[in-house]
């Protein structure tokens, strides 16, 4: 059976929150996960993305948003892409990425951008196979506003 990919729906929020927490642990930064179900519901207009289902069970997700870059114009930014460990290697990640790429092309975006952790060799290999240009130029900057 091929992966089933669909847009995120409000009924997915509790499961997504669990996956957000799981992803934060995978990224070795669980203390940075401060989102809540109430916050997701209140800010759902900003939550754009897709989920991957396997036999009716959510096994992964991706989220994205649109940005404007002065050098290139409108872009789409992949915020998160996460597939549960037991479901990796089955095409879910690739299908999630292809859905974001389709949105970016449909919306006339110049680029799809995202970040990957330096230590995450499997993800780097996955993105390299997609043809992504992976550089080591920029560093993350975060300023808390709350």
Query: Mind telling me the catalytic residues?
Result: 127
CA-to-CA distance for 91 and 131, rounded, in angstroms? Answer: 16
Q: At what angle do helices 92-106 and 121-130 cross, to 10 degrees?
A: 50
Structure tokens belonging to residue 40: 């997701």
For 74-119, the DSSP string reads EEEEEEEEEE-GGGTTSSHHHHHHHHHHHHHHHTT-S-EE----TT
Structure tokens belonging to residue 57: 């069970």
Whether residue 87 contacts residue 59, with contact meaning beta carbons closer than 8 Å, is answered with yes
């Amino acid at each position: 059976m091929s992966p089933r990919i669909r847009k995120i729906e409000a009924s997915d929020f509790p499961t997504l929150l669990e996956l957000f927490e799981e992803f934060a642990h995978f990224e070795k930064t669980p203390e940075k996960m401060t989102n809540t179900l109430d916050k997701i519901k209140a800010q759902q207009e900003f939550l754009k993305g897709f989920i991957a289902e396997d036999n009716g069970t959510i096994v992964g997700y991706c989220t994205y948003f649109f940005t404007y870059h002065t050098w290139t114009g409108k872009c789409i930014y992949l915020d998160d892409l996460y597939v549960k460990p037991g479901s990796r290697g089955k095409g879910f990640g690739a299908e999630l990425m292809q859905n974001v790429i389709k949105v970016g092309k449909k919306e006339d975006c110049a680029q799809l951008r995202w970040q990957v952790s330096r230590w995450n060799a499997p993800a780097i290999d996955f993105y390299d196979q997609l043809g992504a240009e992976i550089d080591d130029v920029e560093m993350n900057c975060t300023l808390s506003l709350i």
